[in-house]
C-alpha cells in the first residue's frame, strides 16, 4: 500500500492510498477518513460507493461527510468506481467502462479481466483495510449515490446483516433490468442470460430478499434522471416487503452533490444509531 496524501480533518485524518488489487488486477486508489477515536482502537466503518463518472475523490470532497463522521466516531471508506489505466477495457459512453462498473463481477470479454468490483468492494479492499487500519469488522454499514446507491443496496442486501448493520442510498438506480442505466451495461458485463442480472437489480433483490435491518433511501423530486432511476419500483418493493426503514422523496432536490450534502447528516446519524446499538 502506498500513501498518496494525508490531511488532518475535523481532528481525524483524511487519507488517500493506493494498492495492488488481486480482484481487479490493477492498482486501485481509495480514500479513508479515520476519526480521532481510531487512535485508541477500532472504530465502526461506513462504506460510501460513488456514481457514474466518479472516482474516490467525488464524495470525499463534496459530500461533507467527514464532519459528521468525526462527531459520531465513524470511519469513512471511499473506493473508486472501477479499475482504470492502460490495458483496462473502456467504452466511448460515460455510462459504461472505466468509471461505470455497476459494482458487478463481469463475466464477458473484454470486461471480465479487470471489472470485478463486487469482489473488490466486498473482499479485496476490506481485507486490506482491516489489516492496516484500526477498523471494527463487526460494525459496518454501507451507503452510496446513484450507481453507488445501486451498489450499496445490492451489496448490502446480498451480504446481509451478517456484514452490514444498515443500508442507505441517495438517488439510487432502483430498477436496472429495464432501464437505460442497466440493460445495456448488464448485458455487456454479464451476458444475455437475465438470471445473472437479478442480483444487481435493487428492486428485485428487495422484493425477493430484503434486508434484516433498517434501510434509508432519499431521492429528489426534481432529479433529472428520474426516468432512468425508476424510484417507484424500489418504493413499491419496500412496501410489499414491509422493509423496515424509509423511502423519502425530497421536494425540489436534483441528482447533484448539493442534494447529497443536504441530507448527509441524516444518513450519518441513521448509520451511527445502528453502528453503536
**Catalytic residue ranges:** 146, 223, 255
CB 190 within 8 A of CB 108: yes
Count of CB atoms situated within 10 Å of the CB of 40: 8
State how far the Cα of 243 lies from the Cα of 167, in Å rounded to an integer: 12
Rg (CA), the chain: 17
Residue appearing with cell numbers 479499475: 83
Give the list of residues 6+ apart from residue 148 with CB closer than 8 angstroms, or none. Answer: 48, 49, 50, 51, 54, 59, 81, 103, 169, 172
113 three-class SS: coil
Under DSSP, the state recorded for 120 is I
Amino acid at each position: 500500500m502506498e500513501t498518496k496524501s494525508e490531511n488532518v480533518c475535523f481532528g481525524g485524518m483524511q487519507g488517500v492510498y493506493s494498492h495492488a488489487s488481486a480482484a481487479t488486477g490493477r492498482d486501485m486508489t481509495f480514500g479513508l477518513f479515520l476519526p480521532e477515536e481510531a487512535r485508541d482502537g477500532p472504530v465502526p466503518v461506513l462504506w460510501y460507493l460513488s456514481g457514474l463518472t466518479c472516482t474516490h475523490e467525488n464524495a470525499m470532497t463534496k459530500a461533507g461527510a467527514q464532519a459528521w463522521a468525526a462527531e459520531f466516531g465513524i470511519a469513512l471508506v471511499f473506493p473508486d468506481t472501477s479499475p482504470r489505466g492502460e490495458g483496462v477495457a473502456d467504452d466511448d459512453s460515460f455510462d459504461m467502462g472505466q468509471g461505470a462498473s455497476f459494482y458487478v463481477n463481469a463475466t464477458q470479454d473484454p470486461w471480465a479481466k479487470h471489472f470485478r468490483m463486487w469482489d473488490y468492494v466486498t473482499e479485496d479492499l476490506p481485507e486490506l483495510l482491516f489489516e492496516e487500519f484500526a477498523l471494527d469488522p463487526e460494525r459496518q454499514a454501507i451507503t452510496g449515490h446513484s450507481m453507488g446507491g445501486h451498489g450499496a443496496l445490492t451489496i448490502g442486501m446480498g451480504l446481509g446483516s451478517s456484514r452490514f448493520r444498515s443500508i442507505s442510498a441517495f438517488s439510487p438506480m432502483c430498477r436496472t433490468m429495464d432501464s437505460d442505466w442497466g440493460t445495456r451495461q448488464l448485458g455487456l458485463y454479464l451476458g444475455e442470460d437475465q438470471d445473472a442480472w437479478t442480483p444487481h437489480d435493487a428492486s428485485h433483490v428487495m422484493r425477493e430478499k430484503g434486508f434484516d435491518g433498517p434501510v434509508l433511501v432519499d431521492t429528489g423530486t426534481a432529479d433529472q434522471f428520474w426516468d432512468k432511476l425508476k424510484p417507484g419500483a424500489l418504493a413499491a418493493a419496500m412496501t410489499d416487503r414491509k422493509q423496515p426503514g424509509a423511502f423519502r422523496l425530497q421536494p425540489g432536490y436534483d441528482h447533484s452533490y448539493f442534494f447529497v450534502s443536504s441530507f448527509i447528516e441524516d444518513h450519518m446519524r441513521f448509520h451511527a444509531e445502528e453502528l453503536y446499538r
